[in-house]
């Protein structure tokens, strides 16, 4: 039989155990209620791009969109590349190859090991498309209208990737080169209605549906305007042709460029003049220039064409 003294001692122990359990339970509840599920996120207080083995992605307002856990130390957001300088195409030339942007708060190009190749990462769904790697991604530094990106694969074949919603190839990857002329929209992005392509030794202009609008062009396409195309031949001279590759002007030029419906023409004899494509007529005087002279044409507020040589206005053509 348990003595009253022992019963009293046991009761005290039970009460103490109950109090101890309640204390631990209350502390556990406190920790649960006060635990910040985003505590690991808050560690990157300086919002560094690379932190704790991860890439961190933020929107323009500074809110965290998501992270990517790197596989290697060679891990970063991909940089754009522009190879247009190897060709005659008059395209937009960024001053440097900068980091590619986060697209629609969802997609980003990443380099994580394996040389300089890039892959697409879906920030929202934490999905890396590592099986589709790109040797280069081009958006000209200012962006291509329509969320288009010109990409190339390991075989240096080019296509156009669209990232408006779900990724898809707008233009299949089977061209030796794809580029866009230097024509910006109201948002400062490169207009992407028509692409200049090279395949099997032929230059062409294609639309977004990959319809080929030209044929038989073996000289490099420099620029195009309406029904006219400026090309550069293997000897370094410029010609004006139509979309079927036929001559629009019999003359070849040292320099040739568009300004609206006009052509800036510099002949082999170093004479400069302005030519109206719509009327097929010379509309300015001919000016003898030297290779060091700077000839500029511009459009004034009244849509007139102003011709300047070495900073001096020499003629104004009524628009």
For the chain, the domain total comes to 1
The verdict on residue 106 lying in a domain is no
Cα gap 119→108, rounded to integer Å = 8
The verdict on residue 308 lying in a domain is yes
SS (H, E, C) 229-274: EEEECCCCCEEEECCCCCECCCCCEEEEEEECCEEEEEECCCEEEE
- pLDDT confidence of 103, banded at 50, 70, 90? very high
* Percent of the chain's residues with pLDDT above 90: 81
The verdict on residue 238 lying in a domain is yes
Helix residue spans in the chain (DSSP H): 4-34, 39-42
The verdict on residue 27 lying in a domain is no
pLDDT higher than 80, residue 20? no
The verdict on residue 237 lying in a domain is yes
The verdict on residue 231 lying in a domain is yes
State pTM to two decimals.
Answer: 0.83
**DSSP character at residue 4:** H
The verdict on residue 297 lying in a domain is yes
Closest to 217 in 3D by CA, of 106, 120, 89? 89
CB 203 within 8 A of CB 231: yes
pLDDT, tens digit (0-9, with 9 covering 90-100), for 35-85? 444 444 558 999 999 999 999 999 999 999 999 999 999 999 999 998 999
For 85, phi then psi, to 5°, come to -65, -15
Residue 128, exposed/middle/buried by CB under 10 A (0-12, 13-18, 19+)? middle
Cα gap 80→141, rounded to integer Å = 7
Residue 25, exposed/middle/buried by CB under 10 A (0-12, 13-18, 19+)? exposed
In degrees, to the nearest 5, what angle opens at C-alpha 200 toward C-alphas 181 and 144?
A: 25
For 302, phi then psi, to 5°, come to -95, 15
The verdict on residue 200 lying in a domain is no
Q: Could you tell me the residue range of the domain that residue 261 belongs to?
A: 225-319
């Amino acid at each position: 039989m348990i003595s009253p003294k022992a019963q009293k001692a046991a009761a005290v122990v039970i009460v103490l155990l109950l109090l101890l359990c309640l204390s631990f339970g209350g502390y556990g509840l406190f920790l649960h209620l006060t635990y910040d599920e985003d505590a690991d996120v808050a560690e990157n207080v300086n919002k560094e791009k690379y932190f704790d083995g991860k890439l961190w992605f933020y929107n323009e307002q500074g809110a965290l969109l998501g992270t990517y856990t790197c596989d290697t130390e060679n891990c970063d957001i991909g940089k754009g590349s522009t190879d247009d300088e190897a060709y005659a195409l008059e395209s937009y030339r960024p001053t440097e190859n900068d980091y590619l942007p986060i697209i629609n708060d969802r997609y980003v190009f990443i380099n994580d090991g394996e040389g300089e190749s890039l892959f697409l990462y879906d920030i929202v769904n934490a999905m890396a498309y590592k099986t589709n790697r790109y040797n280069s991604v081009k958006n000209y530094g200012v962006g291509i209208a329509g969320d288009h990106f010109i990409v190339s694969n390991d075989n240096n074949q080019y296509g156009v990737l669209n990232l408006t919603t779900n990724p898809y190839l707008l233009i299949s990857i089977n061209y030796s080169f794809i580029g866009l002329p230097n024509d910006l929209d109201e948002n400062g992005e490169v207009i992407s209605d028509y692409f200049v392509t090279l395949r099997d030794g032929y230059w062409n202009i294609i639309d977004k549906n990959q319809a080929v609008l030209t044929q038989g062009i073996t000289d490099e396409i420099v620029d195009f305007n309406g029904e006219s195309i400026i090309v550069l031949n293997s000897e370094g001279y410029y010609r004006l042709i139509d979309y079927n590759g036929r001559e629009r002007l019999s003359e070849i030029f040292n320099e040739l460029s568009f300004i609206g419906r006009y052509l800036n023409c510099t002949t082999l004899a170093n004479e400069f003049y302005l030519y109206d494509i719509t009327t097929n007529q010379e509309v300015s005087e001919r000016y003898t220039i030297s290779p060091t002279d700077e000839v500029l044409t511009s459009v004034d507020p009244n849509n007139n064409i102003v011709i300047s040589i070495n900073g001096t206005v020499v003629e104004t053509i009524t628009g």
